[in-house]
Amino acid sequence: MVAIGTWLFTRFRGELVGTDEFGNRYYHERGPSNRWHRRRWVLYRGEVEASRVPPDWHGWLHHTVNEPPRSDREVRPWQKPHLPNLTGTSAAYRPPGHDSQGGKRAAATGDYEPWTPS
């Protein structure tokens, strides 16, 4: 749910610029045509989590680029789809040997010799 102050500011001063694949809506402040001084903000769909903003929109929000991302932009073969930060969720990465993965990892191999004091 959006805070009442944010909702009022968006309602009276905001202009919708676009949405992303997650349903987040991006706005900038109506007013003077000077793009450098317009405020930009996002209203999240669902949980408010900054890592849910895709890189293209992040660049626009922080005035790194002037034009908002287009939905018909070319996707390069090396680009992966954006994933939000999964830390603290059941989908988070846990390496072998992590406590929640049983706490056991493969034995070290090769020429490793632990140091022991003399």
**Domain membership flag for residue 109:** no
**Domain membership flag for residue 54:** yes
Residue 41 scores a pLDDT above 80: yes
Weakest mean pLDDT among 27-41, 46-60, 101-115: 101-115
pLDDT at 26: 96
pTM: 0.70
Closest CA to 9 of 37, 33, 28, 35: 28
**Domain membership flag for residue 57:** yes
State the total domains in the chain. 1
Average pLDDT over residues 11-18: 93
Pair 41, 9: CB distance under 8 Å: no
Residue 94 scores a pLDDT above 90: no
> Where does residue 21 fall: left (phi above 0), alpha (psi -120 to 50 degrees), or beta otherwise?
alpha
Domain span including residue 28:
4-61
Average pLDDT over residues 56-76: 89
**Domain membership flag for residue 112:** no
Residue 117 scores a pLDDT above 70: yes
**Domain membership flag for residue 95:** no
**Domain membership flag for residue 80:** no
Query: What is the band of 33 on the pLDDT scale with cuts at 50, 70, 90?
Result: low
**Domain membership flag for residue 29:** yes
Secondary structure of residue 52 in the 3-state scheme: helix
**Domain membership flag for residue 86:** no
> 48-80: buried (b, 16+ CB within 10 Å) or exposed (e) per residue?
eeeebbbebbbbbbeeeeeebbeeeeeeeeeee
